[in-house]
């Protein structure tokens, strides 16, 4: 038997993930790409079979998954020595199946024999990637519209392809029915996104929850804290050196072990996160319909490989961030084959993540927020003292309008905080959730005045009459202490607890006192939903 590797990659993904801001279309494009590289049908259920006719009959070829991500699948298969030349037919069969099942996505498929030798697996993978890149260069970037697909106008959601299908939409605010003319590509992804989200999350996590379908319901109708109504928290996590660790796997079995371990931990992370969110009434939206089922305010936009991106309401952003990092705190990897024949056991390699948390308006283009989150996470690990890829770090950004930074994160942060020293990324400390909850309680008690705190943080960040940021921080503390002394013992206790909690949440060896006060002022509204404030007190 001759062993071969086969690599499938969904390419030119901007054509199906970033051509519209319609959430179901983006979701559908990602779910279809994920199903395709896993060689499943568009429903994400049944595997696509490969049968090769050698003249004496059809023979089934079994593809064994070695590694699978959000847009890449690496497989291993075997052919009898007499049929080794049939590898090209396997490539053609897989390509034709994908083109028929997923006509609106672009794929590259290539095969390479897996020879003997210590570096054979690594060399075969590198040749496959080179073949995929060459094949991608030789095919059109967009999927060309078929002659019969042309409609009476451009697609109303991507303004690019010809419209082909009228799609009925939910009634508008005035109760009148609505519809939109969509291209065949957008319509197929829209249908997949609406139909498969619930099933994908149920099948992946084993949970039985209902979910919101759009950002309007995900972030809207939250009378408990209208300051945060219609605001999103976009959370992104990128595995540090995961590609390097995969490249270091010297055999299919080693890479399979890494892929299986990562996929299993991702599933446990998602299940833990959803269970955690579902434990709070603030995480649910109930439609204004008799007998309507409460829906969890959650959207998963990127899943698979070493990246994860999801969206929750702004009032749950910090809580979800802490939950995710708690779930990933003890992740490690140890190559099972690296221990074979060695007397000493190598120490496991920690699996760490660069993270980004963006608070924004629900109408902000989500494709821009996705790219900004990637840039912000990369900024976090690059700008960390001594390098940040060996530990969990994250950055956050608060966008108060639908506008977004046009420059790199480093330039934007320097412009926003001109009087402060270099901003360091944040570490998710073990008790971060408890510290954030404590700060929210102090905020809601109303004895820490937000106005003076915010004004003092502005002077720290942007100069003002205090000059240096350290002096401005000392002036802010002195002002708050004087106000607390005048307000009474309860206010003094609250301020002392606040200072102590800030030092635990933002470690003094990582964040200066000036930065701690700026972080507090910026995140003040996002610490969590406000509870009832006692009469006569303001938060």
In three-state form (DSSP H/G/I as H, E/B as E, the rest C), the secondary structure along 415-429 is: HHCCCCCCCCCECCC
The Cα–Cα gap between 133 and 151 comes to 34
The Cα–Cα gap between 63 and 6 comes to 8
Sign of CA dihedral 92, 98, 101, 104: negative
- With beta carbons less than 8 A apart as the criterion, state whether 108 and 37 touch: no
In this predicted structure, what is the pLDDT of residue 465? Answer: 45
Would the pLDDT of 538 be above 50? no
Calculate what percentage of the chain has a pLDDT beyond 70. 93
In this predicted structure, what is the pLDDT of residue 151? Answer: 67
> Which one has a higher pLDDT value, 315 or 417?
315
Q: What is the mean pLDDT of residues 412-432?
A: 85
The Cα–Cα gap between 334 and 234 comes to 31
Q: What is the mean pLDDT of residues 510-531?
A: 92
Look at residues 449, 446, 431 and name the one whose alpha carbon lies nearest to residue 506: 431
- With beta carbons less than 8 A apart as the criterion, state whether 321 and 235 touch: yes
Tens of pLDDT, residue by residue over 288-302, are 877 789 999 999 999
Q: What is the mean pLDDT of residues 432-445?
A: 95
Q: How many CB atoms lie within 10 A of CB 232?
A: 26
DSSP per-residue string spanning 82-139: GGGGGHHHHHHHHHHHHHHH-TTSEEEEEEEE--SSTTHHHHHHHHHHHHHHHHHHTS
* Own/partner long-range contacts of 199-206 (Cβ < 8 Å, ≥24 apart): 199/44, 200/31, 200/44, 200/300, 201/270, 201/274, 201/300, 203/44, 204/267, 204/270, 204/303, 205/267, 205/270, 205/271, 205/274, 206/271
Calculate what percentage of the chain has a pLDDT beyond 90. 65
- With beta carbons less than 8 A apart as the criterion, state whether 380 and 237 touch: no
The Cα–Cα gap between 476 and 491 comes to 16
Least confident of 191-200, 217-226, 401-410, 449-458: 401-410
Q: What is the mean pLDDT of residues 497-508?
A: 93
Find all residues with CB under 8 Å of 484, minimum gap 6, and list them: 447, 491, 492, 494, 495
Q: How far apart are the first and last CA of the chain?
A: 73
Would the pLDDT of 435 be above 70? yes
DSSP per-residue string spanning 44-76: S-SBPPEEEE-SS-EEEEPPEEEEE-SSEEEEE
């Amino acid at each position: 038997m001759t062993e071969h590797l086969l690599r499938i990659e969904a390419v030119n993904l901007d054509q199906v993930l970033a051509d519209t801001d319609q959430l179901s279309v983006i979701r559908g494009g990602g779910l279809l790409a994920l199903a395709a590289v896993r060689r499943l049908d568009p429903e994400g259920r049944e595997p696509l079979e490969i049968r090769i006719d050698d003249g004496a009959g059809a023979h089934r070829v079994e593809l064994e998954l070695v590694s699978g991500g959000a847009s890449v699948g690496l497989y291993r298969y075997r052919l009898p020595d007499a049929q080794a030349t049939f590898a090209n037919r396997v490539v053609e069969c897989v390509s034709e199946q994908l083109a028929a099942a997923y006509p609106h996505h672009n794929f590259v498929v290539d095969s390479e024999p897996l020879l003997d030798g210590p570096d054979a697996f690594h060399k075969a993978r590198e040749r496959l990637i080179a073949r995929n890149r060459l094949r991608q260069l030789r095919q059109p970037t967009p999927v060309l519209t078929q002659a019969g697909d042309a409609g009476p106008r451009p697609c109303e959601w991507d303004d690019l392809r010809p419209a082909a299908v009228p799609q009925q939409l939910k009634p508008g605010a005035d109760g009148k029915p609505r519809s939109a003319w969509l291209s065949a590509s957008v319509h197929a992804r829209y249908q997949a996104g609406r139909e498969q989200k619930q099933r994908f999350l149920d099948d992946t996590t084993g949970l039985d929850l209902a979910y919101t379908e759009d950002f309007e319901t995900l972030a809207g109708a939250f009378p408990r804290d209208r300051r945060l109504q219609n605001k999103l928290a976009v959370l992104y996590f990128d595995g540090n050196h995961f590609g390097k660790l995969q490249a270091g796997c010297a055999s299919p079995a080693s890479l399979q072990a890494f892929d299986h371990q990562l996929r299993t931990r991702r599933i446990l992370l998602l299940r833990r996160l959803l269970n955690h969110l579902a434990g709070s009434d603030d995480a649910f939206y109930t439609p204004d319909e008799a007998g309507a089922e409460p829906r969890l305010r959650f959207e998963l936009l990127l899943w698979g490989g070493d990246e994860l991106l999801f969206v929750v309401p702004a009032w749950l952003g910090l809580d979800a961030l802490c939950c995710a990092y708690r779930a990933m705190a003890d992740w490690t990897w140890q190559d099972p084959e690296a221990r074979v024949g060695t007397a000493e056991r190598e120490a496991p390699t920690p699996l760490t993540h660069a993270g980004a948390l963006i608070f924004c308006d629900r109408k902000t283009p989500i494709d821009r927020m996705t790219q900004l989150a990637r840039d912000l996470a990369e900024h976090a690990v690059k700008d960390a003292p001594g390098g940040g890829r060996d530990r969990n770090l994250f950055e956050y950004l608060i966008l108060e309008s639908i506008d977004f930074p046009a420059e790199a994160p480093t330039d934007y942060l320097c412009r926003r905080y001109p009087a402060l020293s270099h901003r360091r990324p944040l570490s998710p400390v073990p008790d971060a959730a408890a510290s954030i909850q404590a700060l929210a309680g102090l905020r809601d008690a109303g004895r820490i005045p937000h106005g003076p705190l915010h004004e003092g943080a502005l002077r720290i960040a942007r100069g003002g009459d205090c000059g240096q940021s350290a002096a401005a921080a000392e002036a802010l503390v002195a002002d708050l202490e004087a106000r607390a002394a005048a307000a009474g013992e309860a206010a003094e206790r609250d301020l002392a607890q606040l200072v102590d909690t800030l030092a635990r949440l933002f470690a003094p060896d990582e964040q200066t006192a000036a930065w701690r006060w700026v972080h507090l002022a910026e995140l003040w509204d996002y610490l969590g939903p406000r509870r009832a404030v006692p009469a006569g007190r303001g938060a």
